[in-house]
Amino acid sequence: MKILLIRGPVIITVYGECNILGVKITNQRICWNSTKILPIEKRDNTKIHFGGSKYSIYGIYSSDTALGMAIWKDILRSIMDLKYKKIVVIGASDSGKSTFSLYLANKFIESNLRPYLIDADVGQGDLAPPTCIGSAVLLDQKIDLSMIKADQISFIGSIQPAKNEIRIIRCVSKLINKSKPHDVCIVNTDGYLHGMGLYYKLRLIEKIKPDCVVCLGDNNICKNIKKFLRQLSNWKCSIINGRKPNPIIRRSSLLRFEKRLNTFSRFVNLKESNSVQIPLKDVKSIYYRNRFYLPYYSARNSLQLNNFRYVLMKSANYNLLNNIFIGLGSSKEKDIVNGFGLVKNFENDILTILTTCKKFDSIYMSDLQLDFSV
């Protein structure tokens, strides 16, 4: 078995059989539009043709280079044999968390199970745009999470988990409680593990109470988690330490930025967006920096409204509102968004928003300004 690493966009034509993230590919053509690096496990007699002008091949490696899915075969066997129902995946950046999570989901589907996957990486997620958490019940095997339409999306507002830990924990817990019917749940987390990052992961584990935590890479993190869980006795949880892929290819900050921008472009369609004006008094709630404001007029919340109006006016004066990325939702479904857009202006208590969303009464504001012309 040989492992080939390729970066798209590329058209892959397989003559014979290969495996991609646990999915068996036989005599098929695949369009890989992502700029992420794709590991292809091929048999010696399998031929693969690549088409396109922008793809990059990083080489062909033997299976002992710790690049294929075989490095996780023992973890997979343990999870399947012990029939774990709720799994949290933890690890530093570039430790293979997203790859492992999708591989595990594909293997569950192969066993006729319905995995529910929560992509809780607010900076480099795929099921939802950056600043958000996405979740979906997977019914078919996929080689890329970007091919999946999220069932529900929660809005955090930042690409940094730091200072948003409580919000993330709350939203992950809510997504689990409101999920569609499924057989097993997989929670993929971000790479924030230093300082308060580990404490935040421990609190996430304590809140959602998984029966298995897979820790990729750092064995010390695994030991700290085990030490923490020994102090708790209200549920049983297994800790599994797994290898991370060989860091032959490291993602640069430029590649991370490019991936983030590509993910945003999937959710913000400027060509089909319309300019919508909505008076502040018609908005039921506005979320900004871990706080909900109630913008409608009443004596009870006039101070809160004035505080938020001041924030908006100050941002508008300094052009900080221009192209701010926002989520749009309904006040009947708090923390869940069903559309996205960009703020273009705030004047005379009227917000001007560029969006494809036709019906909303709640606005979730991020700290991120998007300029797709860059």
321: its two tokens: 């509102």
How far apart (Å, rounded) are the C-alpha atoms in residues 18 and 28?
10
Q: What is the pLDDT of residue 299?
A: 47
Q: Is the dihedral of CA 334, 335, 338, 340 positive or negative?
A: positive
262: Cα within 13 Å, side-chain hemisphere: 16
Q: What is the pLDDT of residue 286?
A: 87
Spatial contact of 103 and 256, defined as CB atoms under 8 Å apart: no
Q: Give every residue of the chain whose pLDDT is below 70, as ranges.
A: 63-65, 233, 247-250, 295-311, 313-320, 372-374
> For 217, left (φ over 0), alpha (ψ -120 to 50), or beta?
left
How far apart (Å, rounded) are the C-alpha atoms in residues 67 and 286?
45
Q: What is the pLDDT of residue 77?
A: 95
Cis peptide preceding 115, ω within 30 of 0: no
How far apart (Å, rounded) are the C-alpha atoms in residues 142 and 144?
6
How far apart (Å, rounded) are the C-alpha atoms in residues 105 and 114?
8
DSSP string across 121-139: -TTT-SSS-TTEEEEEE--
Which residues does residue 76 pair with via DSSP β-bridges, in sequence order?
none
Pairing type for strands 29-32 and 10-15 reads antiparallel
Spatial contact of 171 and 133, defined as CB atoms under 8 Å apart: yes
Pick the CATH number of 69-252+258-264 from 1.10.10.60, 3.40.50.300, 2.40.160.20, 3.30.450.20: 3.40.50.300
pTM above 0.75, yes or no: yes
Which of 332, 331, 323 lies closest to 283 in space, CA to CA? 331
pLDDT digits (tens, 9 = 90+) for 134-163: 999 999 999 998 889 999 999 999 999 999
Q: What is the pLDDT of residue 204?
A: 96
Other beta carbons within 10 angstroms of residue 8's beta carbon come to: 21
Burial class (CB in 10 A: 0-12, 13-18, 19+), 55: middle
How far apart (Å, rounded) are the C-alpha atoms in residues 77 and 70?
11
Q: What is the pLDDT of residue 19?
A: 94
Task: From residue 87, give the alpha-carbon distance in Å to each of 12, 98, 99, 105, 271.
Answer: 32, 13, 15, 11, 39
How far apart (Å, rounded) are the C-alpha atoms in residues 193 and 185?
22
Which residues does residue 5 pair with via DSSP β-bridges, in sequence order?
39, 59
- CATH 2.40.30.330 for domain 268-369, yes or no, is yes
Q: What is the CA radius of gyration of the chain?
A: 22
